[in-house]
Structure 1
Amino acid sequence: MTEQLTYPTGTTGLILIDLLNDFLAEDGKMNPAIGEQVKSRNLVANLARLIEGAREAGMKIFYAPHGLDEHSFDDFNVVHPVFQGGLANHIFWKGSYGADFYPALRPRDGETVLTQHRMYDSFMGTDLQERLEAQGVEKVVFAGLTSGTCIEGTGRHALEAGYHVTFLADGVADFTAESHRAAVDIAYPTFGHAVLSIDEFLTSVNNSAKQ
């Protein structure tokens, strides 16, 4: 971790992606595929610690949920097979239990819930850019699901859009250990300014407040 790395709460946004029942609840539609990795990485407890620390510090928190319906890809000529499956099986279906936030990690009043993204990039077709600009955010910090798709995809966009980008290595998980490692070890150092643990990030936030 770089000693000079700081995260002023006035200009930093924590972006939590897809903390939804279909991923995290035992009866979620995607949990059978990802649940083992979520448990092995102690992800729910890690994210709870992250969110609690961010709230205590007064950090700006943004929730970026996935959401599909029958019209999500009306403007596409070709829909990727992954999302064809999402449509067919009503994964993260708008208004459903699966698209709701996992109870232990739900947003609180005053925290920003973004419009739902339909694919991997939480900027595309949502109000994320508008909300970040409105709140004066210059640095974005990513955690949630999954390591190599929505986290990485949104982080790449953030870099291209001119934000300082941080990924939290123990705040993410993927369907396999291999895809998780590829994201954390290869993609994140390439597209991020920093790859930190949750504890390193929270320490940097607290140190920033003292300066």
Structure 2
Amino acid sequence: MTISTLDPNTALIVVDLQAGTVRNPTVHPVADVVANASTLLAAFRARGLPVVIANVDGTAAGRSEYGGKASVWPAEMSALIPEIVAAADEIVVTRRAWSVFASTDLGARLSDAGVTQVVIVGLATSFGVESTARDAYDAGFNVVVAVDAITDMRAEAHDNSVLRIFPILGETATTAEVVGLLDAR
């Protein structure tokens, strides 16, 4: 479903635009994803809307094709890219789970701030972005995914999330559509 409206107190959630993820091969150019995320970041900041900057610094335990033990990444992998450094008044979430909400107090912090809707951008579509969208939906937030500010390592995974999962969880939009709705306020 294409975006219909933005709630008065909508937060932007930036997922894993960090040194260790932006260097992975992706379906869409990372530079475009970063540029669109930066445009949204500037738009939300200019309007005094809440911003969440999230990074991941390791993995949770659990057997999978990627390993079986929890891991901690070197600090240089978890460092945010220069375009996405958090301002002093913004929420920063560092975690070892796919979702920005998992094992954090983010849901409560956003609810306490009166946030009712989230716009999600970042990497990777079928990992951090989709997991965050699912948890935001389950927590009762209206969800928007900016589809030109996300990408994945595999086209089929990205397309599945964008075409099949996100429309069930909320709405999708381009960066220009979100900024246009912000400008129309």
CA RMSD, 1 decimal: 2.2
Choose which of 7, 12, 15 in structure 1 pairs with 2:13: 15
Question: CA distance change for structure 1 residues 197 and 63 in 2, over 3 Å: closer, same or farther?
Answer: same
Choose which of 86, 98, 102 in structure 1 pairs with 2:77: 98
Q: Whole-Å Cα distance in 2 between the matches of residues 172 and 86 of structure 1?
A: 26
Structure 1: unaligned runs, 5 residues or longer: 25-30
Aligned-pair distance for 1:98? 0.7
- Conserved 8 A contact 1:7-1:204: no
Q: Equivalent residue for 1:81?
A: 65
Question: CA distance change for structure 1 residues 37 and 2 in 2, over 3 Å: closer, same or farther?
Answer: closer
Q: How many residues align?
A: 184
Q: What are the residue-to-residue correspondences of 1:151-170 with 2, within 5 Å? A: 151-170=129-148
- Conserved 8 A contact 2:63-2:69: no
Deviates more, 1:167-176 or 1:100-109: 100-109
Question: CA distance change for structure 1 residues 140 and 2 in 2, over 3 Å: closer, same or farther?
Answer: closer
TM-score by length of 1: 0.78
1:127 maps onto 2:111 in alignment: no
1:64 maps onto 2:62 in alignment: no
Describe the SS at the equivalent of 2:63.
Answer: coil
Describe the SS at the equivalent of 1:98.
Answer: helix
Structure 1 stretches of at least 4 aligned residues deviating more than 6 Å after TM superposition: none
Q: Which amino acid aligns with 2:112?
A: A
- Conserved 8 A contact 1:17-1:145: yes
Q: Which amino acid aligns with 1:201?
A: V
Aligned-pair distance for 1:60? 0.7
TM-score by length of 2: 0.89
State the identity %: 25
